[in-house]
């Protein structure tokens, strides 16, 4: 029965503390074969006046935004074709790679590329999975695609997985895998 204690400065919201305890529980589960109910996480909060580094009292750093929320908001903006809102969620060095494409760096490239593939496409989500690795938050969005081919024929149930990397609260990279090409060829 693992017990994890973390010391944090006061100032984080209940939601942020809940995200932290969930993340610590998940980190333990990567190594220790214990069910969630057997993992205890305790947060000890201290007022900023009780903490100093280098002789200076410090304030807590603001919590990072939930990476899954960033991805959901981005995908919602893209589906609504609110490109300005979607663009605001991307870092300047953003890259996206779709099946059989070179990396694209602008949303306008994606819109132009997709015009030759389908009239419309929307996503139904089965889930979002977030983790942290190599200095970035990684979010996988998975589910199915539905929409209309160029000739107006509907399609649906096409599997997809999108992998996003988030750094500094912005999306840095999007990799897309789906069965659209295979289904279209049929």
DSSP H or E run through 8: strand 3-9
Distance CA 88, CA 97 (A): 19
Residue 133, pLDDT score? 87
**Burial of 160: CB neighbours in 10 Å, binned 0-12, 13-18, 19+:** buried
Q: What does the pLDDT average to over 63-85?
A: 95
Strand partners, 136: 133
- Indicate if the pLDDT at residue 185 is higher than 80: no
Overall size of the chain counted in residues: 186
Residue 5, pLDDT score? 96
Radius of gyration of the chain measured on its C-alpha atoms: 21
CATH code, residues 67-185: 3.10.450.50
Question: Taking all residues of the chain, what is their mean pLDDT, rounded to a whole number?
Answer: 93
* Parts of the chain belonging to CATH 3.10.450.50: 67-185
Long-range interactions of 28-37: CB distance < 8 A, separation 24+: 28/2, 28/4, 32/2, 34/1, 34/2
* Parts of the chain belonging to CATH 3.30.429.10: 3-57
Distance CA 38, CA 25 (A): 10
Handedness of CA 99, 103, 107, 111 (dihedral sign): negative
Superfamily of 3-57 according to CATH: Macrophage Migration Inhibitory Factor (3.30.429.10)
pLDDT band at 182 (very low <50, low <70, confident <90, very high): confident
Q: Model confidence over 115-168: pLDDT tens digits?
A: 988 999 999 999 999 999 889 999 999 999 999 999 999 999 999 999 999 999
- Indicate if the pLDDT at residue 43 is higher than 80: yes
């Amino acid at each position: 029965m693992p017990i994890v204690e973390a010391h944090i400065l006061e100032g984080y919201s209940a939601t942020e503390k809940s995200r932290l305890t969930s993340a610590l529980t998940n980190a333990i589960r990567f190594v220790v074969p214990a069910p969630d109910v057997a993992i205890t996480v305790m947060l000890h909060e201290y007022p900023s006046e009780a903490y100093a580094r280098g002789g200076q009292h410090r304030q807590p750093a603001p919590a990072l935004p939930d990476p899954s929320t960033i991805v959901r908001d981005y995908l919602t903006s893209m589906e609504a074709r609110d490109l300005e809102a979607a663009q605001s969620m991307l870092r300047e060095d953003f890259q996206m790679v779709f099946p059989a494409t070179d990396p694209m760096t602008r949303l306008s490239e994606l819109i132009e590329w997709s015009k030759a593939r389908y009239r419309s496409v929307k996503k139904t989500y089965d889930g979002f999975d977030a983790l942290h690795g190599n200095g970035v938050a990684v979010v996988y969005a998975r589910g199915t695609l539905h929409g209309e081919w160029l000739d107006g024929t509907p399609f649906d149930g096409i599997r997809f997985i999108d992998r996003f990397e988030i750094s500094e609260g912005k999306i840095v990279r999007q990799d897309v895998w789906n069965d659209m090409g295979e289904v279209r060829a049929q």
